[in-house]
Amino acid sequence: MTIKRILILVPTLVILFLLQSYLWVPTYEEQTKGNPNRLHEYITASTGDATSLNPIISSNSTSSQIESLVFDSLLDRDEELRFRGRLATSWEISEEAYFYLNPHAVIHHAMTSDAGKTDAEGIVRILREARKRVTDLDPVLKATLNRIKKIMIIPPEKVVTTTHYKPAKEEKEEKEIEVIIQAPARIKLSLTEVDQDLFINLSKILGNDYFASFDGVQYLKTDPLVDKKRLAAYAKEYLPAIEHNPVIIFHLRPGVRFHDGHIFDAGDVRFTYEAIMDPKNLSPRTADYEPIKEVEVLDSLTVRIVYKRLYSPALGTWGMGILPEHILNQEALKKEAERLGKDPDKFSMRQSEFDRHPMGCGPFVFKEWKSDQFIDLDRFEDYWEGSPHYKRYVMRIIPDLLTQEMEFYAGTLDSYQVQPHQVERLKKDPRFQSFSGTSFGYTYIGYNMRRAPFNDVRVRRALGMAIDVNKIIDYVLYNQGERITGPFPKQTDYYDHKVQPLPYDPKGALDLLKEAGWLRNEEGWLEKDGKRLEFTLITNSGNDIRKAILAIAQDGWKQIGVNVRTDILEWSVFIQERVHKLDFDALILGWVMGIDPDLYQIWYSNQTHPYQLNFVGFENREADDLIIKIRQEYDFEKQVEFCHRLHKIIAREQPYTFLYVGKWTAVLDKRIVIKDFDEDGVMLYKKIKPTKTGDYTFHFNRWLKIPEMPQLLD
């Protein structure tokens, strides 16, 4: 029996039961006759339940799908993938840059009459003179000087602060230390836009070592005294020679209301940021907002965000759903904790009822959530962009894909994510409209590198070489997938196509394992120091493809002498009890990726704690450096170069066995259309068309289901 047959055969009694049960399911026509509101309801399905409906806490696709309807963000991307305003109508991006006066640097430059050691006024004079002599400058330096709209001097100042540290590893208690900073004068430059090469270019005027030779240590004292290494670390923290501070000013949409009628304003934006950064909430989004230095409310409809350093993904992070401050602020949570009989000091958003009863200012209002059954939403009549055409949105939790398929045919579901073996047939079905594309993401086997034997790259590599991934693509995916070798979406420039996938090579895998000390015993199992090579591979229920991968991986590993147990867990248990709590050996999972190449949350070495996304525990200093460079790089070509280097490192280290990127197909009834109006205000119907990323739900608020097959305009 082939793999293909195993996947499609189901016991006869089960099929008879399903067919019999679906005799009781009304067809779409019967539903609409008895319930005309069915035309105004959109019902979809998910194999797994949501884990949370608070956008700063959740990290799975089902939760995200519901949150995108209940909450709204400052911006998102349009059909052409350009940023467009949502709760923000517009924004400006600029920069404030700083550097300390370096009194020990000697300036020799033909561009200025000043020479030798120059005070703050002299530095300002040099820069202003250079701005006037634009004809003598190279184009790059000229562009930098033209971006400077204001130069000012910040006088010397004395600052006293306190910090804590452990004098020695063996000491448990931290010591408090006073840091006295006698800072020299500082120059502030206000720029019309972010200039990541600002100080490189200014070095052409002030000297190559002006910024590099600044020594902040001489301006610091501590009480008690500390060693030179720690003093240098304080100097780097408190007296950086240069500082880039990108600035975003958002202008917010007036008159937007939360679902309870409360007016949305800039305070809600600041509150959302503060909630993400509050350690009590354990938000997996913290890494995206840590680069922020300050969120300042200028007025009710204007918010100013200042960043600590260069951070190229900054704008895109504000696609986050905005929380209502009046529902979740400290006073409100304290009252809720007291009402529930819990300690207010330990109570956080993760314990709040808001997690299961969310409220935002998006197009749909939360109505009800019954775990493992359904999530029910009603349209928001006062939505700022106009209420959706659908009055009701229901997501049903149906783990079994055959059940989803049968309900879709019966009309009790309005959409269906087609399984690979059904693609060709359903694409040709005249009753449906179909949408296909390559996923922005990938499926993988991840190894918990905190545990032996996965802390050995030779073992991880060998395990990958023992799996026939092409068999998975051919027989499980019916060729609806492609090999993938690294962490970036394959259809982007950030993915390095030169990196070759691991070969299917069981003999080579055994050679690597032998090198790592694993030898076959008399029974054929791999053994080291008297202990078998064995572990448990887990995945979530409701995904037949992952179940098949589970079986193929187990069989491939068994062939080389690895004893692997498997376990399939209900989605919420899988995520909350095993992934979030880092309680696993190896797992099968997938990532849905964004357009931006920032991989900090998934791969940076300080993101390995419970509830964070680097749950496999990958730590690599070179990779960390590249991740930071990618975050701070505004030049596309350089960013691509850094991404390719990161791709190679991760492919070499194999914290994941990268399996494939899937091709997806979704089908809808052809009677679901976009309702629109022409220039004269006459209503017309348009076909649903996907965006460049394949998002066919982009205009969902304008979708409508009509009784008869429509005459459509392209």
d(CA 158, CA 623): 38
Angular region, 664: left φ>0, alpha ψ -120 to 50, beta rest: beta
Q: Tens digits of per-residue pLDDT, 57-111? A: 998 889 999 999 999 999 999 988 899 999 999 999 999 999 999 988 888 655 5
Q: Tens digits of per-residue pLDDT, 447-477? A: 999 999 999 999 999 999 999 999 999 999 9
Token code pair at residue 369: 């959530």
Q: Tens digits of per-residue pLDDT, 31-67? A: 555 566 889 999 999 988 999 999 999 988 899 999 9
pLDDT at 249 over 90: yes
pLDDT for the residue 423: 85
pLDDT for the residue 9: 31
- Burial, 267: exposed, middle or buried (Cβ in 10 Å; 0-12, 13-18, 19+)? middle
Query: Helix, strand, or coil here: 694?
Result: coil
pLDDT for the residue 385: 96
pLDDT for the residue 1: 30
pLDDT at 655 over 90: yes
Nearest to 549 by CA among 576, 526, 568: 568
Q: Which DSSP letter does residue 208 get?
A: T
Q: Tens digits of per-residue pLDDT, 403-422? A: 999 999 999 999 998 888 88
Cα–Cα distances in angstroms (integers) from residue 505 to residues 486, 551, 556, in the given order: 19, 18, 10
pLDDT for the residue 635: 92
Average pLDDT, the chain: 90
List domains and CATH numbers for the chain: 98-246 (no CATH), 441-664 (3.10.105.10)
d(CA 468, CA 111): 65
pLDDT at 19 over 50: no
pLDDT for the residue 424: 84
Nearest to 714 by CA among 677, 688, 693, 681: 688
Nearest to 28 by CA among 20, 36, 18: 36
pLDDT for the residue 14: 34
Q: Tens digits of per-residue pLDDT, 175-216? A: 889 999 999 999 999 999 999 999 999 999 999 899 999 999
pLDDT for the residue 6: 29
The residue with tokens 């450096």 is 625
pLDDT for the residue 109: 58
Residue ranges of alpha helices (H) inside 567-682 are: 571-573, 600-603, 621-632, 636-653
Residue ranges of alpha helices (H) inside 35-138 are: 61-70, 120-132
pLDDT at 15 over 60: no
Contact 356, 23 (CB under 8 A): no
Q: Tens digits of per-residue pLDDT, 258-300? A: 999 999 999 999 999 999 999 999 999 999 999 999 999 999 9
- Burial, 679: exposed, middle or buried (Cβ in 10 Å; 0-12, 13-18, 19+)? exposed
pLDDT for the residue 10: 34
Contact 310, 259 (CB under 8 A): no
pLDDT for the residue 61: 87
pLDDT for the residue 336: 96
Mean pLDDT within 124-133: 87
